[in-house]
Amino acid sequence: MDTVDTMRAFLAVAQEGSFTAAGKRLGISTRLVSKYVAQLESRLSTQLFNRTTRSVSLTDVGVAYLKRCRPIVEQIDELDDLVQERQSALSGPIRLTAPTGFGSTNLTQVLAPFMRTHPKVDIELRLSDSRVALVEEGFDLAVRVGVLRDSTLIAKKLADMPLIVCASSDYLTERGRPGDPMALATHQCLIDENPVNATAWRFRSGARDFVVKVAGAFHANAPAAIANMAIAGLGIARCPHYAVASCLENGSLEQLFAEYETENFGLYALYPPNRHLTARVRALIDHMAKQFSSY
């Protein structure tokens, strides 16, 4: 019995919440995952998981063991990475999470050349517009757009991401073009709920910094949804540049108040403070920083 293999199986089940999903992640059968975990529990003379026909959850002992087990496995990975660095060949898995819209377009365009350069690196990208708990769900890295809320995570800024206020020509023809940002208070605005103060839109003109309180009938937690509703003529949107860049180019949306500065979002790579960064994860962060530096 390889103790490290049993620990890896335990970690995978704890992170995936499923023996079947853990097997897929590790590239082994569900039966072998179950065997490894059973061997580990037998060696420790304790139960690490509560098992039912519908769910798998950690016992109290399992939670405590997880905290000690993860850094040990990461240190073993670190030794492997040390050899890989000296051989100039990166390999192994990277679990990455990102927002749906940005992750499925801009991010994948940047990941593709990285994977061509490092063909032995396996990337698992999970897209979600909800905040993902990196440690609890076993992610190595998160890419996020916006103002950071997670003070416990270490963040590396990859690029600035300006917010663009825009609307369709149909909306502007029907409702009129607002002369200045203060006029937004009388317009139908499309609310992206990702920012902390979603209905407080900040602007700057010279030394003047002011906030406009906006309102609207449509709220969403994804910039792509906001942009699509703006294209349909249902209101004025405020979106990160990446979400509306193509729309501005093809004319389906028009930028408003270009002479004003808006609140700047950031593009960040985040990782837990107690998580050792493997050589492959460090290389990916450096690659993204270089690629996104032109934003």
Do 74 and 98 lie in one domain? The reply is: no
Written as one letter, the residue type at 275 is R
The average pLDDT across 226-232 equals 97
The average pLDDT across 116-132 equals 90
Do 166 and 259 lie in one domain? The reply is: yes
Do 51 and 178 lie in one domain? The reply is: no
Do 238 and 286 lie in one domain? The reply is: no
Q: What percent of the chain has pLDDT over 90?
A: 57
The domain that holds 226 is classified in CATH as 3.40.190.10
Do 128 and 274 lie in one domain? The reply is: yes
The domain that holds 62 is classified in CATH as 1.10.10.10
Q: Quote helix, strand, coil % in the chain, to nearest 5.
A: 45, 25, 30
For the chain, the average pLDDT equals: 89
Give the domain range for residue 9: 3-85
Residue 90: pLDDT over 90: no
256 phi and psi angles, rounded to 5 deg: -110, 150
Do 182 and 254 lie in one domain? The reply is: yes
Closest by Cα among 192, 196, 198 to 220: 192
| 246-286: pLDDT as tens digits | 999 999 999 999 999 998 788 999 988 766 678 889 999 99
How far lies 59's CA from each of 31, 46, 47, 225, in Å? 21, 10, 7, 40
Q: How many domains does the chain have?
A: 3
- The CA angle 268-274-276, to the nearest 5 degrees, is 80
Residue 143: pLDDT over 80: yes
What is the distance between the alpha carbons of residues 149 and 225, in angstroms, rounded to a whole number?
22
Do 258 and 172 lie in one domain? The reply is: yes
Do 209 and 166 lie in one domain? The reply is: yes
Do 171 and 116 lie in one domain? The reply is: no
Do 50 and 96 lie in one domain? The reply is: no
Q: What is the pLDDT of residue 151?
A: 65
Q: Where are the alpha helices (DSSP H) in the chain?
A: 3-16, 19-26, 30-44, 60-86, 100-102, 108-117, 134-137, 169-175, 223-231, 241-250, 279-292
Q: CB–CB of 149/265 below 8 Å?
A: no
Q: What is the pLDDT of residue 83?
A: 62
Do 79 and 94 lie in one domain? The reply is: no
Q: What is the pLDDT of residue 295?
A: 65
pTM, rounded to two decimals? 0.66
Do 171 and 240 lie in one domain? The reply is: yes
Q: What is the pLDDT of residue 131?
A: 78
